[in-house]
Structure 1
Amino acid sequence: MKTLLRTALLSLSWLLAQAAPAAPASEPVDTSRVRQPHRRLVFQFDQRYSLLQREMVGINGLKLGVEWRGRLRTGVGLYFLSSAINTRAVPPSFVPPGSTDKIRFRYGVLYGEYVLVGTPRWELSTPVQAGLGYYYVRYRYPDGTVYHSPRRTIWLIEPTVGGHMRVFRWVGLGAGVGYRQALLTADKLEDDISGVIFYGRVKLFLGDLYKVVRGREPLFSQRGLHRSDYQPRP
């Protein structure tokens, strides 16, 4: 009797399950939206330019960070001067007249970036980064001999305003402007390194790239970037 009752209950449960409507498949989370309930990785190629000593100088950088709810990004970066620049610092007494001098520097940064306004397609933000690195002066004597001054610590702070536009879900192009201020260095070297900066960047949204590849979506997908995707219909 117990076996028969158990069999009947199991059969009834199976029939009810078959009769119940299937639960709708959940839509994949569109991580291209500005406000998100989770974190994601962001990788940037950051090419900065400064007008130093009346020369346009390039500073190459790489940044890796985490985005929090689409509004705040934090992370680390590494920058180095792509070409040496002249310095107005007084050379040591042992450097012979007629020598040329160039300054070089490298530094790592911690950065924070807050998104002021934006849509899944574009945004305007205020990145600020503080850096610590080293610099040295390279002297070339008239006879071709090269002398490097001892490396010295350099501190920097760089407030900027920038923005970007997504070309596809997983990649965007951006630009910005700001100022670099060197701290705790010799007076003349502070003037040599500090100045207005302009930058261009390529941003890779690694989380979105992973989802596109995993979901076998078209690599150049525009899903979630059109105005109709994120603005409610009237």
Structure 2
Amino acid sequence: MNRIVKKWLGLSLLLGGLPLLARAGAAEDSSRVRPAHRRIVFQFDNRYSVIDGKLVGINGLKLAVEWRGRLRAGAGGYLLSNGIPSQEVLPTGMPAGTKAELRFRYVAAYAEYLFIRSNRWELSAPLQFGGGRFFTSFEQPDGTKSKDAKSTVWLLEPSASGHFRVFPWFGIGAGAGWRETLFVEPSLDEALDGPIFYGRVKLFLGDLYKTARFKRKLFSQQHFRYAD
């Protein structure tokens, strides 16, 4: 756990030293952006990860409150987009041809500090702590379904993320981090620990609305020459 916290702190310090790089690509720096004192942030947080040695997709939803454009805190829920085929020996009594898939779902509280917030750039360091269940789902040839005993899993997920606005209403983003399981047996620790990463296309609906309302050109860069 200590090494994961150190990695996250290292990422945080690195991001903290990047404002000059971001300002080189943005007409307005974060000191001139005046976000609302407090606002609600809703996000589809879909990412990829490695679980039990296999690349998998994880679907998630997050809801948070943002303060002064610098700190977000909230909670989210996650589950595998598809089960992971299990290579373990079937339990006694299961007929040949039974399908076995690993399933994993969890909820997490998270905090995210935005090191850079400008009209163009956003760079942040999210940290999540949560708990969930890991189990195997069985489907026999006759359609009978069952599950084995669920294992409780605690996890810590430090990461770094960011996005760049190509247009006021459209941006691209990416992020990467690590999932570390806590207080679990060694076999689960080995299966569930692994990297997390994602790429995103982002639509900023508020800016899209303003573009339509004030009849700005859809692909204009003029927005980045002045503060909102």
Alignment TM-score, normalising by the size of structure 1 = 0.67
Matched residue, 2:213: 216
When residues 84 and 93 of structure 1 are mapped into structure 2, their CA distance, relative to the original with a 3 A threshold, is same
Q: 2:226 is paired with a residue of what secondary structure?
A: helix
Q: Verify: 1:148 aligned to 2:177, yes or no.
A: no
Q: Verify: 1:51 aligned to 2:50, yes or no.
A: yes
Separation in 1 of the partners of 2:219 and 2:74?
A: 27
When residues 143 and 165 of structure 1 are mapped into structure 2, their CA distance, relative to the original with a 3 A threshold, is same
Verify the 8 A CA contact 2:53 2:191 in the aligned structure 1. no
Separation in 2 of the partners of 1:223 and 1:66?
A: 29
Q: 1:185 is paired with a residue of what secondary structure?
A: coil
Separation in 1 of the partners of 2:76 and 2:112?
A: 13
When residues 210 and 122 of structure 1 are mapped into structure 2, their CA distance, relative to the original with a 3 A threshold, is closer
**How many Å apart are 1:158 and its aligned residue?**
0.9
Report percent identity of matched pairs. 46
Matches within 5 A, 1:27-106: 34-36=33-35, 38-87=37-86, 92=91, 95=94, 100-106=99-105
Q: 1:150 is paired with a residue of what secondary structure?
A: coil
Verify the 8 A CA contact 1:72 1:114 in the aligned structure 2. yes
Cα RMSD for the two superposed structures: 3.4
When residues 96 and 192 of structure 1 are mapped into structure 2, their CA distance, relative to the original with a 3 A threshold, is farther
Matched residue, 2:15: none
**How many Å apart are 1:184 and its aligned residue?**
3.0
* Residue segments in structure 1 that go unaligned for 5+ positions in a row: 1-30
**How many Å apart are 1:126 and its aligned residue?**
0.5
Matched residue, 1:125: 124
Separation in 1 of the partners of 2:78 and 2:57?
A: 10
Alignment coverage as a number of residue pairs:
197
Code of the residue aligned with 2:67 in structure 1: it is: W
Alignment TM-score, normalising by the size of structure 2 = 0.69
Separation in 2 of the partners of 1:96 and 1:190?
A: 29
Matched residue, 1:184: 183
Q: 1:107 is paired with a residue of what secondary structure?
A: strand
Separation in 2 of the partners of 1:191 and 1:127?
A: 23
Separation in 2 of the partners of 1:89 and 1:181?
A: 23
Verify the 8 A CA contact 2:158 2:179 in the aligned structure 1. yes
* Residue segments in structure 2 that go unaligned for 5+ positions in a row: 1-29
When residues 224 and 159 of structure 1 are mapped into structure 2, their CA distance, relative to the original with a 3 A threshold, is farther
Bigger radius of gyration, 1 or 2? 1
When residues 154 and 35 of structure 1 are mapped into structure 2, their CA distance, relative to the original with a 3 A threshold, is farther
**How many Å apart are 1:92 and its aligned residue?**
4.8
Code of the residue aligned with 2:210 in structure 1: it is: V
